[in-house]
Amino acid sequence: MTKYELALVVNAKIEDDARTAVVDRAKEYITRFGGTIGEVEEWGKQRLAYEIQKMREGYYYFIPFDAAPEAPIEIESQIRIMDNVLRFLIVKKDEQ
């Protein structure tokens, strides 16, 4: 298992319940493809570096997980088509 981290920027204009549902769905995709999720880090509402879809703010979430090397590709393909996700990025974490 390799260590990864999913950075997720969620639409700030949606309700709290909808935002929680987006994060839960992303976590469900991780577990569906064999990953185990660590402690989810919520940074809250932050100003974006540049405007995305006419929005200047988004909610930032960081989800660490362990998964097989082929899992991030599958997870990205599912998150790419999710509504209310402005940006996402999966990075491989250094082994320490």
Largest CA distance in the chain: 39
Per-residue confidence (pLDDT) for residue 85, from 0 to 100: 94
pTM score, whole prediction: 0.89
* Domains by residue range for the chain, with CATH: 2-92 (3.30.70.60)
Per-residue confidence (pLDDT) for residue 1, from 0 to 100: 86
Sort 26 into a burial class: Cβ within 10 Å, 0-12 / 13-18 / 19+.
Answer: buried
pLDDT per residue as tens digits for the range 79-92: 999 989 999 999 99
pLDDT band, residue 37 (cuts 50/70/90): very high
The β-bridge partners of 3 are 66
Q: Residue 83: what residue type?
A: D
The residue-averaged pLDDT of 16-21 equals 93
- Return the HEC string of the chain: CEEEEEEEEEECCCCHHHHHHHHHHHHHHHHHCCCEECCCEEEEEEEEEEEECCEEEEEEEEEEEEECCCHHHHHHHHHCCCCCEEEEEEEECCCC
Per-residue confidence (pLDDT) for residue 96, from 0 to 100: 61
Is residue 22 scored above 90 in pLDDT?
yes
The per-residue pLDDT of the chain, averaged, comes to: 92
- Percent of the chain at pLDDT exceeding 90: 85
Look at residues 12, 10, 34, 43 and name the one whose alpha carbon lies nearest to residue 24: 10
